Amino acid sequence: CILHCFLFLLVFGRAIHAIARVSDEFWFDPIEKGLALRSVNSSRSAYAYVFFSSMFFQHYCWTAVSQPCQKEKQLSLPCKLIIKSILPVFRCVNVLERNVEKCSIYTNVNDHHITFQLLCKHGVVKTYNLTFQECDPLQAVFAKHMCPNILKVHSRLLADIMIHFPTSQEEVTLSVTPMKVCLKSYTEEDTGFSKTMLTEIQLNPDEFDYFQVGVDSEVTFCLKELRGLLAFSEATSVPVSIHFDISGKPIAFGVEDTVLEASFILATLSDVEMETASQQPPCVSQRQESNAEAAASKKPRWNGNAPNTGSAKTTSPLAKQEIKSIPRVAKKGTTGVAGTAITEAEDHAMLEGEATESLSYFYKYCIFQFHSLFFGAVCCKEKDAISHTFHSLATPSDAEEDFGSGQSSQV
Amino acid sequence: MRFRAKIVDLACLNHFSRVINTIAKLAKTCTLRLTVSKLYFILSDKVANGGVSMWCELCQGNFFDEFQMEGVAAEHNEIYLELVPDNLSRALKTAQSAKAVKIKLTNKHCPCLRVAVELPSLSSSSRIVTHDIPVGVIPRRLWNDFREPSVPDFDVSIYLPVLKTMKSVVERMKNLSNSIVIEANLSGEMNLKIETDLVSVTTHFKDLGNPPWASEDGCQSSAQGRDLENMAEARIDIKKLQQLLAGQQVNPTKALCNIVSKRIVHFILLHEDVSLQYFIPALA
């Protein structure tokens, strides 16, 4: 497909920076309605999604190119870029705004190139040609509307709060009751004497534009990855919405307005003890078994994945095997990203009437791996999938049903 | 052992923050000594510090609106804490618009200085930010290590040039050499010298003035009867000097140094409510 657009640099640049905090590479996914950027970090504990609708751009032109060799009409060309190559383009976003008059993005399928062209002052033209890799699409499914706790707050307030934490602070805990909200730094040290300074901020529910606490909860997530979204939301001055549940379930930070939408979904820490008491024991016990070496200690650990990339690497060969054994699912069949056992929500046409058996096996594997990202449900049933829009992350969740059916111990 | 203090006035808070920032630039870890009337930030001259030592004294009444302290025992009504001043600096950094700042010594899991900053917010109740700074309580038997250093028997005492100028000179010299020679005489002249294989640079300052020191018991100090033109000099680590000068956020009311030839340079920086003494030993 061919994409040609001009854009508002500050917002776009901040989006790139935000995504860069999550991972070194990102998915560049132009579709008819707009441009989607996605990324996921190596331990699969953070997922970033930014969607710019075609109206965001001064000029947006997208043409589908169907390839006759494939059975289905190729609707989109998801491709993967190394973010390090694009970051210099948008490095000093503030400076950029002053010097650059226009920025256009072209894609060239045959060459496997995406071109960013900056038309600057004084007739200077900077052209960046970036190679991309074709890959399986990436999409996390998260049922926002199922979250009992929803907070909406202006990005300015969030920035004012986060400023109290040192930039080196890795993780923070958000704890809510209907009466108060508290954000505090999280440290893993068990020892009585810790050398680090701990910061805690108490907020009144009045300070939030929207405050709904259905269940008292305390969720711990990674602050570093979030800071990118905070900077981005400040640039857009759109309020930030926070959807979350109890600890262990993911937390989603999002901004949305008429021309753009962004979501950062982060895994939250869960206590080992809390897992065994959760409503989904079969899945949990399976995970505990195979992550036995990763969870050697009794300490709370990141749900569903080990904090180091080592574990992610060991699972990836397995993931690739699984994908290959279900050829329909991995229709693009390319090298793929490590551990991309993430569902393709767009492929509804393919799902219809397929051997549900192999599919549910695949999705169970998804649940197994990405309990932290996926709020219960992973697959969309056929009828739901059809109505599923490309850029929406909300999915009607049939969590309980999926878990109930076919809990075979194949994994 | 108890300690509670509160600052409500913004100007006092800013002033206190500036002092803490200066201390944070000079020492990674230091000792905080609390008495009924004063606070002291002390760095004793251990080898790990490169032999430098620091003594900073504040009158609590000039900063705190409330100050209550109970020491380890009635006859030793003092508290000695070991802390990282940078933590305190960071805690106060975002308190620039605070309604009030409370500092309290607590011992929940471990001894901490709890800094609670009350910030204005849009809602009816204030936003409260709490920082728990871990501290170590120094037992009484070690208090002797932290006695106030006496003014050394110096050869020359001289007022420092304008600190900003001195700082920029030293910063440039820092790129050329690791050590710097400070020499001065009783005629108000001071030279800063560096010398390497390739280059030597000297900056001359004149008309600085020499502070009058009253001799304590009438006996002659080594400075008396000294030839006015005779220079006393000491070679010190340039980085330590640069740290001292760079850390100064406000111009002191008085800034002077005492040089003991080839032994030590003693800097005294006096502000209205704060006095800072810094000792840099001469290099071998």
Query: Do B122 and A166 lie within an 8 Å CB cutoff?
Result: no
C-alpha of A374 from chain center: 10
Residues of B in contact with A200 (CB under 8 A): 129-132
| Sign of the alpha-carbon dihedral angle for B54, B59, B64, B66 | positive
C-alpha of A285 from chain center: 25
A393 pLDDT exceeds 50? no
At A136-146, the pLDDT tens digits run 767 777 788 88
Q: What is the pLDDT of residue A344?
A: 36
What is chain B's pLDDT, residue by residue, as a tens digit (284 residues)? 899 999 999 999 999 999 999 999 998 899 999 999 999 999 987 777 778 999 999 999 999 999 999 988 888 899 999 999 999 999 998 888 889 999 999 988 889 999 999 988 777 778 899 999 999 999 999 998 888 888 888 899 999 999 999 999 999 999 999 999 999 999 999 999 999 999 999 999 999 999 988 655 444 455 566 788 889 999 999 999 999 999 887 788 999 999 999 999 999 999 888 999 999 999 87
CA distance A164 to A328: 50
Query: Do B130 and A192 lie within an 8 Å CB cutoff?
Result: no
Query: Do B91 and A197 lie within an 8 Å CB cutoff?
Result: yes
Say if B120 is an interface residue toward chain A (CB within 8 Å).
no
Tokens (6 digits) for A366: 């998804």
Look at residue A361 and give its three-state secondary structure. helix
Integer-rounded Cα radius of gyration of chain A: 21
Please name which of B33, B25, B135 lies closest in space to residue B77, comparing C-alpha atoms: B33
Q: DSSP secondary-structure letter at B148? A: P
A34 pLDDT exceeds 50? yes
Residues of A in contact with B125 (CB under 8 A): 204, 206
A78 pLDDT exceeds 90? no
Contact A161, A203 (CB under 8 A): yes
A371 pLDDT exceeds 70? no
Q: What is the pLDDT of residue B242?
A: 93
Please name which of A201, A160, A158 lies closest in space to residue A180, comparing C-alpha atoms: A201
DSSP string spanning A308-338?
Answer: SHHHHHHHHHHHHHHHHHSTTTTTT-SS--T
Look at residue B272 and give its three-state secondary structure. coil
Please name which of B240, B230, B249 lies closest in space to residue B267, comparing C-alpha atoms: B240
A257 pLDDT exceeds 50? yes
Q: Is A26 exposed, middle or buried (0-12, 13-18, 19+ CB in 10 A)?
A: buried
Residues of A in contact with B94 (CB under 8 A): 163-164
Residues of A in contact with B131 (CB under 8 A): 164, 197-200
In degrees and rounded to multiples of 5, residue A339 shows phi and psi of: 70, 30
Query: Do A204 and B121 lie within an 8 Å CB cutoff?
Result: yes
Q: What is the pLDDT of residue B149?
A: 87
CA distance B22 to B229: 34
Identify the H or E element spanning B15. helix B10-26
A104 pLDDT exceeds 70? yes
Residues of B in contact with A198 (CB under 8 A): 131-132
CA distance A158 to B255: 44
At A271-299, the pLDDT tens digits run 653 333 333 333 322 333 333 323 333 33
CA distance A161 to chain B (A): 9
Please name which of A11, A104, A10 lies closest in space to residue A60, comparing C-alpha atoms: A104
Residue found under tokens 């791996």 = A369
At A81-98, the pLDDT tens digits run 766 677 777 766 666 666
Query: Do B134 and A193 lie within an 8 Å CB cutoff?
Result: yes
Say if A166 is an interface residue toward chain B (CB within 8 Å).
yes
Q: A406 or A26: which carries more pLDDT confidence?
A: A26
Q: What is the pLDDT of residue A270?
A: 78
Q: A66 or B236: which carries more pLDDT confidence?
A: B236
Select the residue of A194, A197, A204 nearest B131 (Cβ to Cβ).
A197
Beta bridge partners of A104: A6, A117
Query: Do A202 and B130 lie within an 8 Å CB cutoff?
Result: yes
Please name which of A11, A1, A81 lies closest in space to residue A33, comparing C-alpha atoms: A1
CA distance B184 to B191: 6
A327 pLDDT exceeds 80? no
